[in-house]
């Protein structure tokens, strides 16, 4: 039985909730983090008694630090930190406001950066650990104009992840930093996007949250630096950049 302690942000629904339930069934301790306490408690009820609920806003650094401290107090260690918190937006680039852009950076970039920075000292002290950042195919392919600011934030997250990995690898090669990029996922992501938007479940070729969670669980079992969650994604990205004359 795998007894790792895994912190999952954005765990109140969707991918985060599915991942918490799956890891708990595999014997891991799931630390469930999000803003909505009641929703987290409902997820915890599916986790076979192996979940710790810690409400918090991951775009607030003091909340992130509190999650680190509370997890260490309860379990004595953190093995894996999954940055899954984030939010979409539905607005064309010509219509974006300062508030739109700032919100996308807070929700999708700063929330992950704070997690990486706050858990890193613990990982360095132990000499091991794993960070997993959940990105998006839109972080590779700027293909949906009304998701423009979300695309930009995920591109930022991808670059930040790669640079964080390069920095840490120089001194702590046993700290693994992984990026996971889903495509369309059949959750409430679209409905919860800023300014509304189409239901993600209305699009073709999507995956369930459980399917994406299974990929993330596989990355925990066998760390890899960069993973897509569906077959053919790598070729799609390579084809896009080849088409505009850039080597992928």
Domain ranges of the chain: 5-243
pLDDT of residue 192: 87
Global model pTM greater than 0.85: yes
The 10s digit of each residue's pLDDT in 131-144 is: 999 999 999 999 89
Distance CA(112)–CA(84), nearest Å, equals 8
- Token pair belonging to 245: 């004359």
Q: Which fold has domain 5-243?
A: Rossmann fold (3.40.50)
**Residue 155 contacts residue 99 (beta carbons within 8 Å):** no
Active-site residue set: 150
**Residue 208 contacts residue 186 (beta carbons within 8 Å):** yes
The 10s digit of each residue's pLDDT in 104-134 is: 999 999 999 999 999 999 999 999 999 999 9
The 10s digit of each residue's pLDDT in 147-160 is: 999 999 999 999 99
Interior/surface letters 68-91, b for 16+ CB within 10 angstroms, e for the rest: bebbeeebeebbbbbbbbbbbbbb
């Amino acid at each position: 039985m795998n007894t790792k302690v895994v912190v999952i942000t954005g765990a109140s629904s969707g991918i985060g909730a599915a991942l918490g339930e799956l890891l708990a069934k595999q014997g891991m301790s799931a630390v469930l983090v999000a803003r909505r306490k009641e929703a987290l408690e409902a997820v915890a009820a599916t986790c076979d008694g192996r979940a710790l609920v810690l409400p918090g806003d991951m775009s607030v650094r003091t909340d992130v630090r509190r999650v680190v401290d509370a997890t260490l107090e309860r379990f004595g260690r953190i093995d894996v930190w999954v940055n899954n918190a984030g939010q979409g937006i539905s607005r064309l680039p010509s219509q974006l406001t300062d508030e739109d852009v700032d919100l996308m950076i807070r929700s999708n970039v700063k929330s992950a950066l704070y997690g990486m920075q706050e858990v890193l000292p613990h990982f360095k002290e132990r000499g091991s650990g794993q960070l997993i950042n959940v990105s998006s195919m839109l972080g590779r392919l700027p293909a949906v104009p009304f998701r423009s600011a979300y695309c930009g934030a995920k591109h930022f997250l991808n670059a930040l992840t790669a640079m964080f990995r390069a920095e840490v690898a120089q001194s702590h090669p046993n700290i693994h930093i992984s990026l996971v990029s889903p495509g369309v996922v059949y959750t409430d992501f679209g409905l919860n996007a800023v300014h509304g938007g189409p239901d993600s479940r209305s699009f073709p070729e999507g995956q369930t949250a459980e399917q994406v969670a299974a990929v993330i669980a596989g990355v925990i079992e066998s760390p890899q630096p960069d993973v897509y969650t569906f077959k053919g994604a790598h070729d799609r990205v390579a084809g896009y950049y080849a088409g505009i004359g850039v080597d992928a």
